[in-house]
Amino acid sequence: MASELKNLSVFDTPVPSAKGMKVAVVVAEWNSEITSKLLNGAVALLEEKGAEVFVHSVPGTYELTMGCSIVASHYKADAVIAIGCVIKGDTPHFEYICSGVTHGLNMVAVKCDIPVIFGVLTVNSQEQAEDRAGGRLGNKGEEAAATAIKMVDLKFGLK
């Protein structure tokens, strides 16, 4: 696995300033023991870099698509970060949720013409989730925040 070789909280290139950026974060309540840690990591980095941050929650990971669409439009956000956690179980539910959210968030990005960042853990076990939510592999929320900042910087840098 790629993340087994890299700490999610260590960035290869510097994260630029986010001063003046408006970033909406939509977090799933399901698996909140994990998503709250991802949210804290994302918000901490965004605020450290100077972004204005808006946080809203949705019941589960599947609802992230609609939640991101709503907040992207309401806040005229420069970027939206979707935070969730889906842990594989014994049924195909995992595949349906992950596929639907992946495609849905991509559609929101295209429709709203802003970066929509996939900060969703799709893991095989609780241990893998914990490793990526501030554990031994860093924090995927921080990585999502850095990605949002870099994508907004790219978009505005090209204008």
14-36 residue pLDDT tens: 899 999 999 999 999 999 999 99
Bridge partners of 23, per DSSP, are 53, 79
Q: Is 56 tagged catalytic?
A: no
Please tell me the total count of domains within the chain: 1
Q: What is the pTM (predicted TM-score) of this model?
A: 0.92
For residue 81, the SS3 value is strand
Q: Is residue 13 part of a domain?
A: no
Band (pLDDT 50/70/90 cuts) for residue 1 is very low
Residue-wise pLDDT tens digits, 67-113: 999 998 888 899 999 999 999 988 888 888 999 999 999 999 999 99
In a domain, 66, yes or no: yes
- Catalytic-labelled residue, pool 56, 74, 93, 103: 93
* CATH number of the domain encompassing residue 97: 3.40.50.960
What pLDDT, in 10s, does the model give residues 102-144?
999 999 999 999 999 999 999 999 999 999 999 999 999 999 9
